[in-house]
């Protein structure tokens, strides 16, 4: 029991550390690749790795599981990535980061009404607000630069709603006993299928210039293909595909199953903290006192929001009822 609990916590913190490190890799790759190119290579690699690890590629138990995987691929990968990148195009990363802070709250509200989850409470909301404020301080890191644009703000909010639906669908997959590798592998395949129209559009002349080329696929000349000839580039692609996608999404599925979907989602507030620390050490970006204060607010908010109440953690005999809750 203790070993299983340790593995569950290990999966949770593995996801936080890895997803926090994607910022640095993406910053390097966007110098030569568009967002669509990065996402397609990333999730293609992830799907191939999970195919090798997961064995059979067919439907596990029936059409219902396949529809579930299709929804996960659409909401958690294809639509989420499209909307988030579009939001960044219309606004900026700092503005989008502020909208990201409402993600766990949206997930909690959806889970409350769609799955009957009881995590939503005043304590949870108070901790989420504190953590969200900390994310704002960490994101700005002493430099306040908001770019409020109607289209960008709507796309950012829609991205968070998509992630909320993905979280609910993931919870359904966990309740149905679908193994994380199977669920994530099928979700990635469907994500690639959902993104295929964008990829085909990106190959056209119109797609080369639409939205300043954010969906461009440049595969026409030898110079375009030469971008893939660097070991440094493939190192970042492998990190995003193998660790940040294949391993992290599967680990996230396990963490949500063991710790609870809503409580685990609050831990996502820690990702910007890790991202800023990684950027400070590896990209030599400045780390200010305000950013450090924000990190403290995030940690305090996460602990306060996710700490189980006494009524949830103790039975009349004093036994732990929810030992793996954050």
The mean-pLDDT minimum among 67-81, 137-151, 244-258 falls in 137-151
- Mean pLDDT across 258-278: 76
**Gap between the Cα atoms of 219 and 211, Å rounded:** 18
CB burial string 206-217: b at 16+ within 10 A, e below: ebbeeeebbbbb
pLDDT at 9 over 80: yes
pLDDT at 57 over 80: no
Q: What is the pLDDT, as a whole number, of residue 59? A: 45
pLDDT at 184 over 70: yes
The closest of 239, 241, 219, 202 to 77, measured between CA atoms, is 241
State the DSSP string of 196-228: HHHHHHHHSHHHHHGGGGTT----SSHHHHHGG
**Gap between the Cα atoms of 260 and 264, Å rounded:** 6
Q: Which residue has the tokens 């639906």?
A: 165
pLDDT at 280 over 90: no
Query: How far apart, in Å, are the Cα atoms of 214 and each of 79, 185, 202?
Result: 15, 26, 9
Q: Which residue has the tokens 């669920």?
A: 183
The residue among 256 and 122 whose pLDDT is bigger is 256
Neighbours of 315 (CB within 10 A): 9
Most confident of 14-28, 177-191, 194-208: 177-191
Q: What is the pLDDT, as a whole number, of residue 310? A: 53
Q: Determine the distance from the C-alpha atom of residue 19 to the mean position of all C-alpha atoms in its chain, rounded to a whole number.
A: 7
pLDDT band (50, 70, 90) for residue 321:
very low
Long-range interactions of 196-205: CB distance < 8 A, separation 24+: 198/36, 198/82, 199/36, 199/40, 202/34, 202/36
CB neighbour list of residue 244: distance below 8 Å, 6 or more residues apart: 18, 19, 21, 22, 25, 42
Three-state SS for 1? coil
Domain ranges of the chain: 2-116+149-260
- 82-134: pLDDT as tens digits: 887 777 777 766 666 667 767 788 888 888 788 777 666 777 778 778 877 87
Q: 139 near 97, Cβ under 8 Å?
A: yes
Q: What is the pLDDT, as a whole number, of residue 209? A: 65
Most confident of 61-65, 126-130, 179-183, 265-269: 179-183
Any idea what DSSP says for residue 267?
Answer: G
pLDDT at 8 over 80: yes
- pTM exceeding the 0.85 threshold for the entire prediction: no
pLDDT at 293 over 60: yes
The residue among 32 and 205 whose pLDDT is bigger is 32
Q: What is the pLDDT, as a whole number, of residue 317? A: 38
């Amino acid at each position: 029991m203790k070993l299983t609990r340790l593995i569950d916590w290990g999966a949770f913190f593995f996801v936080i550390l890895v997803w926090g490190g994607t910022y640095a890799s993406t910053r390097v790759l966007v110098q030569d690749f568009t967002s669509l190119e990065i996402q397609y290579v990333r999730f293609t690699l992830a799907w191939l790795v999970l195919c090798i690890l997961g064995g059979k590629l067919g439907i596990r138990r029936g059409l219902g599981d396949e529809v579930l995987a299709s929804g996960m691929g659409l909401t958690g990968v294809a639509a989420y990535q499209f909307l988030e990148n579009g939001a960044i195009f219309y606004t900026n990363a700092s503005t989008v980061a502020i909208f990201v802070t409402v993600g766990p709250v949206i997930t909690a509200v959806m889970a409350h009404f769609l799955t009957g989850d009881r995590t939503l409470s005043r304590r949870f909301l108070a901790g989420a607000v504190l953590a969200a404020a900390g994310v704002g301080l960490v994101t700005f890191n002493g430099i306040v630069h908001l770019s409020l644009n109607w289209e960008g703000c709507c796309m950012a909010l829609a991205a968070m709603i998509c992630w909320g639906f993905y979280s609910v669908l993931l919870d359904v997959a966990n309740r149905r006993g679908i193994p994380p590798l199977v669920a994530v592998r099928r979700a990635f395949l469907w994500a690639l299928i959902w993104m295929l129209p964008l990829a085909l559009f990106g190959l056209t002349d119109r797609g080369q210039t639409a939205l300043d080329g954010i969906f461009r696929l440049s595969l026409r000349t030898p110079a375009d293909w030469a971008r893939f000839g660097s070991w440094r580039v493939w190192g970042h692609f492998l990190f995003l595909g193998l660790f940040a996608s294949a391993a992290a999404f599967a680990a996230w599925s396990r963490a949500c199953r063991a710790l609870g979907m809503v409580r685990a989602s609050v831990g996502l507030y820690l990702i910007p903290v890790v991202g800023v620390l990684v950027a400070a050490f590896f990209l030599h970006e400045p780390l200010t006192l305000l950013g450090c204060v924000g990190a403290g607010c995030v940690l305090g908010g996460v602990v306060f929001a996710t700490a189980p109440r006494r009524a949830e953690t103790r039975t009349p005999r004093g036994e732990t009822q929810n030992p793996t809750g954050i």
